[in-house]
Chain A
């Protein structure tokens, strides 16, 4: 149904981008066939690396006219196959667009190109005494990718998610038109929010070429607590009680001893405490020691009162690093502990986290499979991993289907949704269809059609 890339197309692309930024066939590294999700693979016919918005527009004009599919890729760290060119065609990599263009201290915004890495933006903001609050675990992801999945991260409890920080986007439409959506404004009631439609659309509606992001003043004081509990049940049950105290920590993460031990093996570095079965990790930010310490004290006392075994204080950079670096490596650590794995990035109401974790433990026992998990206890977004270990191909496929069916069904019963922050991409579209039903999916498909009548931009994803 799509046209293949011909030698004439290749010549035209080289004309637009220059020879060195157009790779064809065997010149393309096999890694471009997949993202961090295993199982979904397809090589693009051609890989292009544009250096500016106008080049992207020119590529899209050509692709639209010739009806060649285009898939956008940042760092390739996605977990649902969203950046896999399942229909072949052109893979458009944004990594050359890696400039931080402006820090506007009067509107508290930073303007970036989509290939800037999250860690680069975080460091840049901090150097200038600002903070970009979204804090997903994968720091080498691009900002374009973060916007495309509406990435969340650990500070979502207090600070919200990527969408809350996108003020404006410059995008290229599938037809090759350059549009500016939103602006350096704090409010916007001017018609449908096209900018917010593009955020989280996983590269299916338009290509993000520039983003104006909100930053906040860097909190002067930050302190974390690592709180050990005798078991996961008491750890998770503590979270709603913490919210009940009317103090909102910046982050509330939960982690089990098993996951911590995987990360010790993976990093070759000991975690400061592994005596307990379950932990929650809390962070408090503020502008004065007195404020942060008084909040910390209320929560520390509360935790001890409701059964915490102790409360450990992470008050220096070294101490924070010893715990947060392990937390940041959990995904890779679990991956390294098995032969293959797949993930359920489910989100449930905060007060159902405990029930959902208990359900995964029971499921693991029933199906005789390892299902380690960790996640954002404070916002209900869990990362649950099904480990293949020694299973054969057929058994693995069956097991995955059973596990996912049961987990998404359970999440739905609890009022939860399929994805908290990783997106739907290719891998989870069956589950979103199942949950949303006909009309919402038809509305999504209609939106896609308005933006992209020829369905050339990242086809086969999200709602198709």
Chain B
């Protein structure tokens, strides 16, 4: 089975500051990493490959330095990867991102299965996977807990619908989004990193796509516009509950009720 995993580079820390003037994330000087949710998707792909054979490749969209996470994916066991990088892609919303990724996938190769992470830790929309499937005309399943097997071009999988767990079969090619915390992602190998060659990473731009109309990408191709980005309110308020275990239990219960947490 040939698998493509879509990955994204995100800020390395959750404490990223927002520029109060431009309303954008201050990325300079902040280290980046692979989106943690994509690591579960990549582990799912690599485990599947070990079980039933085939190849695992990765794809990302971003500035040239997004190459780092493709290299990282190769260090974890992917065969090679693609970076979709073009100034025309800048400022893309969910829809334009999904369109760009779908254009990229069409020229990268023939895949039976495309796996995305559940969501990213910076955008948090959890929509790109489903929209990529829509653009490609492939079936899509979200919150996949495990891919259980593949036979005659049909994969069987288990997915979470929050309240219940469903088992289903899906025709390939298809796009799935792996749920979070479903496995322990393997670690990148220093040994592989030392041996990595140039051809492990391929850069693709809009000129490589079949649709070369810049109006369909980036800010121009976006259906939504971000009005303002602001950091969530942080509070350092702490309350220490004292008294006997029974009194503390009653106080906690009272507190969570008043906060409408239960």
Footprint of B on A, CB under 8 Å? 225-226, 269-273, 289, 300, 304, 310-316, 318-319, 322-323
7 additional A-B residue pairs with CB within 8 Å, beyond A272-B186, A272-B187, A318-B36: A225-B190, A226-B187, A273-B187, A311-B191, A312-B188, A312-B189, A313-B190
Given contacts A316-B33, A318-B39, A269 and B190 within 8 Å (CB-CB):
no
CB distance from B10 to the nearest CB of A (A): 10
B: residues with CB less than 8 A from A are 12, 31, 33-34, 36, 39, 75, 183-191, 193
**CB-CB < 8 A to A226: which residues of B?**
187
Query: Nearest-CB distance from A301 to chain B (Å)?
Result: 8
Residues of B within 8 A of A225 (CB): 190
Most chain A beta-carbon contacts within 10 A, residue among B33, B75, B184: B184
C-alpha spacing A225/B193, complex, angstroms: 14
Report A-chain residues with C-beta under 8 Å of the C-beta of B188: 312-313, 315
Contacts of A311 in B (CB 8 A): 189-191
Q: Are B12 and A316 in contact, with the CB atoms below 8 A?
A: yes
Grouping DSSP codes into helix (H, G, I), strand (E, B) and loop, the A interface class, with mixed when no group exceeds half, is mixed
The answer to whether B184 touches A271 (Cβ under 8 A) is yes
Assess the B186–A310 pair: CB atoms within 8 A. no
Hey, which chain A residues are within 8 Å of B191, CB to CB?
304, 310-311
Contacting residues, chain B, for A269 (C-beta < 8 A):
184
In the bound assembly, the distance between CA atoms of A311 and B195 in angstroms comes to 13
B32 to chain A, nearest CB (A): 10
Contact B186 A273 (CB under 8 A): yes
Contact B185 A272, beta carbon cutoff 8 Å: yes
Show 23 residue pairs from A and B whose CB-CB distance is below 8 angstroms, ordered by the A residue.
A225-B190, A269-B184, A270-B183, A272-B187, A304-B190, A304-B191, A310-B190, A311-B189, A312-B189, A312-B190, A313-B187, A313-B188, A313-B189, A313-B190, A315-B33, A315-B188, A316-B33, A318-B36, A318-B39, A318-B185, A319-B185, A319-B187, A322-B185
A271 proximity list for chain B (CB < 8 A): 184
Q: How far is the CB of B58 from chain A (nearest CB, A)?
A: 17
CA distance A349 to B34 in the complex (A): 41
How far in angstroms is the closest Cβ of chain A from B141? 23
In the complex, chain A residues whose CB is within 8 Å of the CB of B186: 272-273
7 nearest A-B residue pairs (beta carbon):
A312-B187, A311-B190, A270-B184, A300-B190, A310-B191, A316-B33, A272-B187
Q: What is the CA–CA distance of A300 and B194 in the complex, to the nearest angstrom?
A: 11
Q: In whole angstroms, how far apart are the Cα atoms of A272 and B187 in the complex?
A: 6
Separation in Å of the B187 CB from the closest CB of chain A? Answer: 4
Report the separation of the CA atoms of residues A117 and B80 in the bound assembly, to the nearest whole angstrom: 47
A272 touches which one: B12, B31, B184, B193 (CB < 8 A)?
Answer: B184
Please measure, in the bound complex, the distance between the C-alpha atom of A322 and the C-alpha atom of B193, giving whole angstroms: 21
Q: How far is the CA of A310 from the CA of B76 in the complex (A)?
A: 12
Q: Which residue of B lies closest to A304 (CB)?
A: B191
Enumerate chain B residues within 8 angstroms of A312, measured Cβ to Cβ.
187-190
B31, B75, B183, B191, most chain A CB atoms within 10 A: B191
Minimum CB distance partner of B243 in chain A: A20
For the complex, what is the distance from the CA of A322 to the CA of B12, rounded to whole Å? 16
Chain A residue nearest in CB terms to B183: A270
Chain A residues near B31: list those with CB within 8 A: 289
Distance of B35 from chain A, by nearest CB (Å): 10
Cα A249 to Cα B186 in complex, Å, equals 23
CA separation between A318 and B186, bound complex, in Å?
A: 11
The interface residues of chain B lying within 8 Å CB-to-CB of A319 are 185, 187
